Amino acid sequence: MTFPTNDRAVSVNLVQDKYAAPPPEIQTSDDTIVDINDAGYETDSSNSSISTSLSLSVVDYPFENGRRYHKFREGRYCFPNDELEQEREDRIHELMVYLFNRLHFAPVGVNPKNILDLVTGTGMWAIEIGNRYPNANVLGVDLSAIQPEWVPPNVRFMVDDVESEWAQPRNHFDYINSRNMVLAVRSWPRLFRQALRDLKPGAWMEMQEFDHLPQSQYGSIPLNHPVSKYWDLLGSGLSCLGVNSKVTVFLADMMRDAGFQNVSSRILRIPIGEWPEDDLLKMVGRYFKSILIDGIQSMALRPLTRGLMWSREEVEVWLVEERRAYKDDLFYSHMPLHIISGQKPSL
Ligand SMILES: C[S@@+](CC[C@H](N)C(=O)[O-])C[C@H]1O[C@@H](n2cnc3c(N)ncnc32)[C@H](O)[C@@H]1O
């Protein structure tokens, strides 16, 4: 699907206000870094045997239940990295950039020199921010080497675990971005401590994170509704694997606790389905719903099979009902997206 030009940057208020009339009724380590631009994924580690074996192994991706997963720090991230999932990630990127008409909300400064994109995924954000700020060095970090080979000269990617010790210089970054990593991270305080340490004084970190529980504009979606149950079970499975899927609403406070200042958070309601009256939001809702339905299996498989010990067959049978439940727009639902930013105190 190709979006028409969004010549009226959809603001937070527009997203929140442009909903249809109320519906009639709702019932309410080893820390080695692998640079994928280096031939053979070599590292500058002095331990060449580690780097050699790592270079051969990072792209030797394992398959499980018919989906492909990352190899480096195997098992850390619960969702596939195969092309189907990459294509879905790119669609989420497209949707967000289209909706916001921008790549970031927090200030990056007039002439940023160093930008870090945590959990860069397919690297779309990193590439686009690199084009936007051609004088900046952009570094995208991910467990999977799934980024394109041909990228702007100021953009590079590394395979690394952002929950390990960061190897970048201290007080180095003018801006740190992270998007859609709430279902990945286990220790937020540690991550924020490292981000604060490696930002330049006065520089900003921004997160764009969904709160993964669809809500209704006009009341709550019943807990026994399949869509509620889906996200609840997914959360339980992830929790068994060490990830708190409900952390989004606490991230701003965690940033404050870590020492960030001027922390702000705003919530955008991304519609699910075609129910908004506004044409643009109707299209966004249609697109977002298709992204959620297309990801219904990739999101559920590992949390349920590894976390809750379901068999693959049990998951697949259950998903039939889940897919069906998404088909109607009964609950005028949306998923809250939190835009959170905070600044490192100046010296
Ligand atoms: C949902 S995708 C988001 C990608 C990108 N930020 C975006 O918004 O398009 C999550 C990515 O996080 C990566 N990831 C998960 N845990 C990670 C970790 N501990 N260190 C590095 N990358 C990680 C995964 O490999 C995956 O590519």
Q: Which pLDDT score is estimated for 41?
A: 27
Per-residue pLDDT tens over the stretch 247-297 = 999 999 999 999 999 999 999 999 999 999 999 999 999 999 999 999 999
Atom of ligand 1 nearest to the CA of 117: 6
Mean pLDDT in residue range 294-307 = 98
**Hey, which residues does 147 pair with through a beta bridge?**
none
What is the three-state SS of the chain? Answer: CCCCCCCCCCCHHHHHHCCCCCCCCCCCCCCCCEECCCHHHCCCCCCHHHHHHHHHHCCCCCEECCEECCCCCCCCCCCCCCHHHHHHHHHHHHHHHHHHCCCCCCCCCCCCCEEEEECCCCCHHHHHHHHHCCCCEEEEEECCCCCCCCCCCCEEEEECCCCCCCCCCCCCEEEEEEECCCCCCCCHHHHHHHHHHHEEEEEEEEEEEECCCCEECCECCCCCCHHHHHHHHHHHHHHHCCCCCCCHHHHHHHHHHHCCEEEEEEEEEEECCCCCCCHHHHHHHHHHHHHHHHCHHHHHHHHHHHHCCCCHHHHHHHHHHHHHHCCCCCCCEEEEEEEEEEECCCC
For residue range 144-174, list pLDDT tens digits in order. Answer: 999 999 999 999 999 999 999 998 899 999 9
Contacts with 2 (C-beta within 8 Å, 6 or more apart), sequence order: none
Cα of 279 from ligand 1 centre, angstroms: 32
Compute how many other C-beta atoms are within 10 angstroms of the C-beta atom of residue 50: 13
Nearest residue (CA) to ligand 1, atom 26: 121
Q: Answer whether residue 238 shows pLDDT above 80.
A: yes
12-18+29-343, CATH topology level: Rossmann fold (3.40.50)
Predicted local distance difference test score (pLDDT) of residue 23: 31
Does the structure show a pLDDT above 90 at 218? Answer: no
**Ligand 1 mean position to 322 CA, how many Å?**
25
Residue 17 has pLDDT above 90, yes or no: no
pLDDT digits (tens, 9 = 90+) for 26-55: 222 333 333 333 322 233 333 333 333 446
- Answer whether 18's CB lies under 8 Å from 127's CB: no
Residue whose CA lies nearest to ligand 1 atom number 27? 121
Distance (Å, rounded) from C-alpha 166 to C-alpha 168?
6
Residue 133: the pLDDT is: 96
Does residue 136 contact residue 112 with C-beta atoms inside 8 Å?
Answer: yes
Tell me the two tokens of residue 89.
């990630």
> 163 CB less than 6 Å from ligand 1?
yes
pLDDT score, position 24: 29
Give distance in angstroms: CA of 332 to centre of ligand 1: 29
* Residue 8 pLDDT > 50: no
Within 13 Å, how many C-alpha atoms sit on residue 100's CB side? 19
pLDDT confidence of residue 220: 74
206 lines ligand 1 (CB under 6 A): no
**HSE on the CB side for 276, CA within 13 Å?**
26
Residue identified by tokens 């697109």 is 287
Does residue 75 carry a pLDDT above 60? yes
Q: How far apart are CA 258 and CA 244, in angstroms?
A: 18
% pLDDT > 90, the chain: 74
pLDDT at 247: 97
Q: How confident is the model at residue 206 (pLDDT cuts 50, 70, 90)?
A: very high
- Assess whether the C-beta atom of 85 lies below 6 angstroms from ligand 1: no
Tokens 């967000």 -> residue: 96
Question: What global pTM score does this model have?
Answer: 0.87
Residue with tokens 């966004």: 284
Residue-level pLDDT at 326: 83
Query: Terminus-to-terminus CA distance in the chain, angstroms?
Result: 47
Which tokens go with 251? 């991230």
The neighbour count for residue 150, using CB atoms within 10 Å, is 5
What's the CA gap between 218 and 24, in Å, rounded?
Answer: 10
For 5, residues 6+ apart whose C-beta sits below 8 A from its C-beta are none
Task: Report pLDDT for 14.
Answer: 33
Retrieve residue 25's tokens: 């009724």
Tell me what the pLDDT averaged over the chain comes to. Answer: 85
